Amino acid sequence: MKILYATSEAVPFCKTGGLADVAGSLPPALAREGAEVAVILPLYQRVREKFGGQLKFECYDYVDLAWRHSYCGLFSLEQDGVTWYFLDNEQYFNRPDLYGYMDDGERFGFFSRAIVRMLPHLKFWPEVIHCNDWQTALVPIYLKDDGVREDRYRGIKTTLTIHNVEYQGHYGKDTLGDLFGLDHGWAEDGTIMMDGDVNLLKGAILCADAVNAVSPTYASELKLAYFAHRLEGILSKCGYKLSGVLNGIDMDRYNPATDSHIATNFSLEDLSGKNADKAALQRMMGLREEPCVPIVGIVSRLVSHKGLDLICEVLHDMMELPLQLVVLGKGDRKYEEFFHWASQQYPGRMAVRLDYNEDLSMAIYAGADLFLMPSKSEPCGLSQMIAMRYGTVPIVRETGGLKDTVQPYEAWRDAGNGFTFSNYASGDMLYVIREAVYLYKDYPDAFSRLRKRAMSCDFSWARSAKEYLRIYANITGQTWPVPAAEPAPVLEEAPAPAEEPAPAVEEVSVPTEEAAPIVEEVPVPAEEAAPIVEEAAAPTEEPAPAAEAPVPAVEEPVKKTPRKTAAKKPAAKKTAAAPKKKTAAKKTAAKKESVKKETTKKGPAAKTPKEDSAE
| 58 lines the binding site for ligand GLC (CB under 6 A) | no
Smallest separation (angstroms) from ligand GLC to the CB of 218: 8
Closer CB to ligand GLC, 18 or 256, in the complex: 18
| 574 lines the binding site for ligand GLC (CB under 6 A) | no
Closer CB to ligand GLC, 18 or 169, in the complex: 18
Closer CB to ligand GLC, 71 or 461, in the complex: 461
Closer CB to ligand GLC, 22 or 116, in the complex: 22
Q: Which of 381, 408, 416, 579 binds ligand GLC (CB under 6 A)?
A: 381
Sole window of 15-23, 235-243, 257-265, 386-394 interacting with ligand GLC (rule: CB under 6 A): 15-23
| 306 lines the binding site for ligand GLC (CB under 6 A) | no
CA distance 243 to 222: 10
Smallest separation (angstroms) from ligand GLC to the CB of 377: 8
Ordered DSSP codes for 145-173? HHHTT-HHHHT-EEEEEES-TT---EE-T
Closer CB to ligand GLC, 25 or 70, in the complex: 25
Cα angle 473-474-479, degrees, rounded to a multiple of 5 = 45
Closer CB to ligand GLC, 190 or 379, in the complex: 379
Residues near 216 by beta carbon (within 8 Å), at least 6 away in sequence: 243, 244, 245, 246, 404, 524, 526, 529, 539, 543
Smallest separation (angstroms) from ligand GLC to the CB of 553: 30
Closer CB to ligand GLC, 143 or 245, in the complex: 245
Smallest separation (angstroms) from ligand GLC to the CB of 615: 5
Closer CB to ligand GLC, 190 or 307, in the complex: 307
Sole window of 284-292, 378-386, 527-535, 593-601 interacting with ligand GLC (rule: CB under 6 A): 378-386
| 114 lines the binding site for ligand GLC (CB under 6 A) | no
| 136 lines the binding site for ligand GLC (CB under 6 A) | no
Smallest separation (angstroms) from ligand GLC to the CB of 112: 19
- 3-state class (DSSP) for residue 475: helix
Closer CB to ligand GLC, 66 or 386, in the complex: 386
222 and 537 in contact (C-beta within 8 Å)? no
Sole window of 62-70, 380-388, 421-429, 515-523 interacting with ligand GLC (rule: CB under 6 A): 380-388
Smallest separation (angstroms) from ligand GLC to the CB of 575: 30
Longest dimension (CA), the chain: 90
Smallest separation (angstroms) from ligand GLC to the CB of 331: 13
Closer CB to ligand GLC, 386 or 437, in the complex: 386
Smallest separation (angstroms) from ligand GLC to the CB of 110: 23
Residue 565: is it exposed, middle or buried by C-beta count within 10 angstroms (0-12/13-18/19+)?
Answer: exposed
Cα angle 217-220-222, degrees, rounded to a multiple of 5 = 110
| 163 lines the binding site for ligand GLC (CB under 6 A) | yes
CA dihedral 373, 379, 384, 389 (to 10 degrees): 180
Q: Which of residues 461-520 bind ligand GLC (CB under 6 A)?
A: none
Q: Which of residues 16-35 bind ligand GLC (CB under 6 A)?
A: 17-19, 22
Q: Which of 1, 40, 39, 7 is nearest to 470 (CA)?
A: 1
Q: What are the two backbone dihedrals, phi and then psi, of residue 319, each rounded to the nearest 5 degrees?
A: -75, -10
Please report, in angstroms and rounded to a whole number, the separation of the first and last CA atoms in the chain.
Answer: 30
Question: What mask, x for binding ligand GLC by CB under 6 A, covers residues 586 to 615?
Answer: -----------------------------x
Closer CB to ligand GLC, 245 or 473, in the complex: 245
Residue 537 to residues 50, 221, 247, 398: CA-CA distances in angstroms?
46, 21, 20, 15
| 201 lines the binding site for ligand GLC (CB under 6 A) | no
Q: Which of 254, 130, 276 is nearest to 204 (CA)?
A: 130
Amino acid identity, residue 395?
Answer: I
Closer CB to ligand GLC, 227 or 421, in the complex: 227
How do 2-6 and 295-299 pair as beta strands? Answer: unpaired
Size of the site for ligand GLC (CB under 6 A): 14
Smallest separation (angstroms) from ligand GLC to the CB of 301: 9
Smallest separation (angstroms) from ligand GLC to the CB of 18: 3
Q: Which of residues 227-256 bind ligand GLC (CB under 6 A)?
A: 247
Residue with the CB atom nearest ligand GLC in the bound state: 18
| 164 lines the binding site for ligand GLC (CB under 6 A) | yes
The helix-helix angle for 333-345 and 308-319 (nearest 10°) equals: 10
- 3-state class (DSSP) for residue 302: strand
CA distance 492 to 495: 7
Cα angle 390-24-127, degrees, rounded to a multiple of 5 = 135
Tally: H helices and E strands in the chain: 24, 19
| 382 lines the binding site for ligand GLC (CB under 6 A) | yes
550 and 223 in contact (C-beta within 8 Å)? no
425 and 402 in contact (C-beta within 8 Å)? no
| 380 lines the binding site for ligand GLC (CB under 6 A) | yes
| 214 lines the binding site for ligand GLC (CB under 6 A) | yes
Sole window of 13-21, 55-63, 222-230, 583-591 interacting with ligand GLC (rule: CB under 6 A): 13-21
CA distance 175 to 263: 52
Closer CB to ligand GLC, 60 or 167, in the complex: 167
Residues near 341 by beta carbon (within 8 Å), at least 6 away in sequence: none
Q: Which of 88, 378, 398, 612 binds ligand GLC (CB under 6 A)?
A: 378
Number of residues that this document lists for the chain: 615
Per-residue three-class SS string for 530-571:
CCCCCCCCCCCCCCCCHHHCCCCCCCCCCCCCCCCCCCCCCC
Closer CB to ligand GLC, 230 or 305, in the complex: 305
CA dihedral 233, 235, 241, 247 (to 10 degrees): -160
| 391 lines the binding site for ligand GLC (CB under 6 A) | no
Smallest separation (angstroms) from ligand GLC to the CB of 397: 13
Q: Which of 33, 180, 42, 16 is nearest to 115 (CA)?
A: 42
| 379 lines the binding site for ligand GLC (CB under 6 A) | yes
Residues of the shown chain interacting with ligand GLC in the complex, contacts defined by CB under 6 A: 17-19, 22, 163-164, 214, 247, 378-382, 615
